[in-house]
Structure 1
Amino acid sequence: MPSFKIGHRAIGLDSPPFVIAEMSGNHNQSLERALAIVDAAAAAGAHALKLQTYTADTMTLDIDQGEFRISDPDSLWADTSLYALYEQAHTPWEWHGPIFERAKSHGMLGFSSPFDETAVDFLESLDVPAYKIASFENTDLPLIRKAASTGKPLIISTGMATVAELDESVRAARAAGCRELILLKCTSTYPASPLNTHLRTIAHMRELFGCEVGLSDHTMGVGAAVAAVALGASVVEKHFTLDRSAGGVDANFSLEPAELASLVTETERAWQALGHVQYGATTAEQKSLVYRRSLYVVRDVAAGEPLTRDNVRAIRPGLGLAPRHLDTVLGRAARRPLARGMALDWSMID
């Protein structure tokens, strides 16, 4: 499939992985902290800074009981109402412009996940370079169509979606005008377990849907992301914060600055290491060939004296005959006197 660009960044297997730092609610309702997160993400080498665009009222109802309350005792947000969580986590819409401008000042892209159609309209007014559909919205076909109709690259996280649901979402996006699509393998638990990440899906998804693929990663550390690149991920998204100990709705499973820097470095190294099918010495290895073993005279040999295991051995360096010739030369006579340390060649042997 042809590569394409999000802003100035090329996306595809022929380009380094596109690393997205997801701020989410880690600003803790402080614009100053949000801008500091942008600065830190840029310093770590991230290529894009992503927000989430919603309000509590566009997400849910202000009801603090029943299904509107998070009852799962294992959830990071247990015993909180959905409305209260989104009030705490949302990024005020008036902050988007300053945050995107700060990202731009660092040469970093800024875009967002819209959670309803009004968010798409708002983000269009800021001329974002792409849209991201979150996992919990990947079956919201009207929202997908709205974002796709902008004609901008569309990223869809695949958390929880069946193949049939993804097929429906991809078809809806393409029918609405999306020509540059990225699907991100995602496990919608927070944090996610490596055992529940199933990265082999990445290559299958690329083949099945004929689009770019990547990883939206909620595991701790950078190991899953590096492995994903080896399996064909061209995009990696990770939640990012300044300091997990400072708290915040997503801090528990977010990378800190040193970890994000490692992610950028190690995913690019993984991409570089993929290369192509290669046998034999590379150009860089040519100088190392001399340190192979080869046949050398290890004890002085008189003219006419037979070569034996006592006077010829395979040692380093590699300027003599290859070790595979040892059985051929043993027992044959030296044509002339041979000194210890001479690299053996055919001209020396009868």
Structure 2
Amino acid sequence: MTRLTLGLVAGALALVAASAGAQTPYPTKPIRLIVPTPAGGPSDAAARALAKGMAAGLGQEVLVDNRPGGNTGIGAGAALNAVPDGYTLLFALASNAGLPQLSKASPYRSISEFTPIATIGGNTQCLVVPSSVPARTLAEFAAYAKASPKPLMRGSNNVSEDMVAGQVTGSLGFTLERVPYKGAPQLLPDLLEGRIQAAVLPVGASIPHVRSGRLTMLGCSMAERIPALPAVPTLAESGVSVAPLITAHFVLGPPRMPVEIIERLASSVRQAAQAPEFKQEMDRLLITGNARSSAQTRELMLQAEAQYVQFVRETGASID
């Protein structure tokens, strides 16, 4: 066999191998879904429900990997720096769009650095106080805080809570001292025992304790009252000057992911979100909103980022 013939054969074999590799179906191994909050909270529960539904459609396990800390920055940074092969994803909160505006320690400068894949519904944020605080309305709580000889303490575990709290205190003219926590499961024991006097929390995390009488819900960030809690006013009804907070969970990937993998993952999220068992879990968690495409997710990410940019511009807020 001549050298030319050998070269042609080798080239043909390389093309066949490349073609076979290109046709290897994705995914071929389990996918890691990083959740930047602790296990046990409503976002974690939503991520696990989504992972189960995605796994059914993809034919591979989707493993939830909780990476709390750094105001959700630790988990987000791990996903941002992962190989963009579709095997590491981020289950981001809308508040991830605000981290760069509020903290110089953020591992990214804009939420747009991530690859948008899909969106599912988000958590409504509500201001709650322990039953030991003598306030049943937001006006009563503002008066109580103003009369206190030292600032009341407010627990916080992500920047959306900080923005809502800042809008409340700015509108009603009082202050709350921020106490950081990794997540709602760590914050709630201190709140229930009165060691901190307030928190802005996802409604799904606080509602069991509201129903038991251990917490009082003073107002929520949505434009309309929550159907399951018709007696709880919106913050706007209570005199807070605020645009309704964008709430969502984004499924994101590292930069430069292949289009065909994005489309495959987006399809699996859409399929999972339509399953009756997933909808039942979202109803239980009081998570509202519909699944969105990659393009719609990018648009919503930028809208959420714009809310935080405006908030920081108007207030100078920082969590550093």
TM-score by length of 1: 0.20
The higher relative CO (CA closer than 8 Å, separation ≥ 6) is in 2
Q: Which has the higher helix share?
A: 2
Larger Rg: 1
TM-score by length of 2: 0.22
